[in-house]
Structure 1
């Protein structure tokens, strides 16, 4: 699925991924291919990009929104700090 992660200043990530784990305001959730359409509010926490089944990239975020539509995920956040 296509994933785009944007802040007001720049694009953090754009590409095809296996999935993404996000910190929702009521708990963490995961989006995989062909997820139902939705819009979700994000809280403070860890965002984990699942590039494939064995490769990941993590960021600490402070909140934002995620939209899923037609096998594309758009994540709009205030800022992100890469985690080791």
Structure 2
């Protein structure tokens, strides 16, 4: 699926991924390739980008939203810091 992660200042990530784990306001959830359409609110927490089954990137994010439509996920967040 195509993933775009944006903050007001810059683009954090853009590319094809296997899935993404996000901190929802009521708990963590995961979006995988070909997920059903969804719009969800995000809270502060850890976001994991799964490039494939063996490679990931991790970020600490502030609040925001995610929209999934036509196998494209767009994540709009207030800020993101890369973590290992």
TM-score normalised according to structure 2 size: 0.99
Aligned mates of 2:25, 2:77 — CA distance in 1: 13
| Distance (whole Å) between structure 2 residues aligned to residue 33 and residue 60 of structure 1 | 22
Partner of 1:82: 82
Pairing 1:23–2:23 present: yes
The 2-side partners of 1:44 and 1:13 are apart by: 18
Distance (Å, rounded) in 2 between the aligned partners of 1:53 and 1:33? 12
Provide the TM-score with structure 1 as the length reference.
Answer: 0.99
Structure 1 residues 1-84: aligned runs within 5 Å = 1-84=1-84
Runs of 4+ in structure 1 over 3 Å off: none
Q: State the number of aligned residues.
A: 84
Using the TM superposition, give the Cα deviation of residue 62 of structure 1 relative to its aligned residue in structure 2, in angstroms.
1.2
CA RMSD of aligned residues (A): 0.4
